[in-house]
Amino acid sequence: MRAVGRKAALFRWNDDPSLLAGAAAIVLPGGFSYQDRIRAGVVAAKDRVMDTIGELASAGIPVLGICNGAQVLVESGFIPGIHWERVDLALAPNVMADRAGYYCAWTHLRAEKSACLWTGAFAPEEIVPVPIAHAEGRFVADDAAILEEMERAGQVALRYCTVRGEIDPSFPVNPNGSVGNIAGVCNPAGNVLAMMPHPERASWLRQVPEDLDGPWGRRRRAAAGEATRMEEEGPGRRFFASIPAGKGGSR
């Protein structure tokens, strides 16, 4: 957030929730809340701080959940948020060809046409390389009507795709078996986004791997050996730049 000129402050889950008042946006980062006990994100979803985050989200404050943060938002029922606080989705264990468990790799995302605030800085169908690192990232819903409603309402903000933007459901393009290659889902209002990939790990050009396919890989190779260029913007930074500048954090 600081890299895009926003004032940012760390807020611990067990801090006084009233300190969140005045926040212009909230990011629930990746991590390992409660060591993924029982199911990734489910225990944190019951924490008191999520009452406050839910209230702020309902009031239109932008909320981004990355990886474990996304799992918390899904288990909270804030995503997809068609029925507020009802758990209408899961981020289930990865399903991958010939392997199981944790998977860490760079993926390509296609920014879909949606009302999502957090992808507002991307052109429609722009291809954005961002890494993933998770074991439970497979978007799935038991009720097909929920998926249909998400699609109809433009809540699918991000899909895994090839470097050319094709939606290929097979591994590794779809790295976890997500239905519809879904990588990120926003709420109907567009201010809350749950995404499994890590844009903060793609915020500087130096974070892009040398062997990445596509224009971002070429840009990274061209910058090799030039320290100043390596500090330039990476592909993930615009998720954070999408949020209008507000009053900043309250702390």
Partner 1 sequence: MKTVVELWVRLKVVDLVAGTAWMTLTEKLDFGDSLRGLVRYSYWRMEAEGASAGAVVDAIDRAVRLDSAFTNQNKHLYRLRETGGAGAGDLAVEEDYPVRATGGGELRAVDLLVREKRPESEAAYAARLGERLEDVRILSMTAGEVWRIIVSAADDAAAVGLAERMAVTRSRREGLLLNPHYQRHEIVAVGPVVRKEGDR
Concerning whether 104 is annotated as a catalytic residue, the answer is no
User: Closest approach of Cβ 38 to partner 1, in Å?
Assistant: 6
Query: Is the CB of 136 or the CB of 200 nearer to partner 1?
Result: 136
Per DSSP, the three-state class of 249 is coil
Q: How far apart are CA 238 and CA 202, in angstroms?
A: 10
Q: Is 198 a catalytic residue?
A: yes
Nearer to partner 1, 188 or 217 (CB): 188
Least distance between partner 1 and beta carbon 96 (Å): 11
The structure tokens listed for 36 are 């993924």
CA nearest 202: which of 226, 232, 172? 232
67 is annotated as an active-site residue: yes
Active-site residue, from 112, 126, 198, 233: 198
139 has which bridge partners? 91
- CB nearer to partner 1: give 16 or 84: 84
Handedness of CA 131, 135, 141, 146 (dihedral sign): negative
| Exposed / middle / buried, residue 164 (Cβ in 10 Å: 0-12, 13-18, 19+) | exposed
Residues that bind partner 1 (CB under 8 A): 34-35, 37-39, 42-43, 45-48, 50, 54, 75-77, 85-90, 92-93, 95, 100, 138, 140-142
- The minimum distance between CB 63 and partner 1, in angstroms, equals 14
| Catalytic site positions | 67, 198, 200
